[in-house]
Structure 1
Amino acid sequence: MSKYYVNKFLFQVDRNPDFLKRYAEDPKNFVATWEQSIGPRLNEVEHSTVHGFTDAERKALVEHDFVALFEMGAHFFLNLTLFIGIYDEPYMKENGPLAFQRHFAQRLQHWNGRDYPTVET
Structure 2
Amino acid sequence: MSKYLVNKFLYTVDRDPDLVERYKTDPAGTVAWWETEKANELLNCVAAERSTYQRFTDEERAALVDQDHVRLFEMGAHPFLTLTLFIAMFEHDHEPLGYVKAYAAKMSHISLPYPDIAT
Shared fold per TM-score greater than 0.5: yes
| Match for residue 50 of structure 2 among 43, 47, 51 | 47
TM-score (norm 1): 0.91
Partner of 2:115: 117
AA paired with 2:109? H
Q: Deviations over 1:6-62 (max 9, x none)?
A: 000000000101111111110101100000001211232111233210101000000
Hey, what's the Cα distance between the residues in 2 that align with 1:119 and 1:51? 19
- Unmatched segments (≥5 aa) in structure 1: none
Hey, what's the Cα distance between the residues in 1 that align with 2:24 and 2:15? 13
Aligned 1:92-111 pairs, distance under 5 A:
92=95, 97-111=96-110
State how many pairs are aligned.
116
Hey, what's the Cα distance between the residues in 2 that align with 1:46 and 1:61? 25
Hey, what's the Cα distance between the residues in 1 that align with 2:53 and 2:34? 15
TM-score (norm 2): 0.93
- Unmatched segments (≥5 aa) in structure 2: none
> Identity of paired residues, percent?
49
Q: Alpha carbon RMSD of aligned pairs, Å?
A: 1.0
Hey, what's the Cα distance between the residues in 2 that align with 1:118 and 1:79? 15
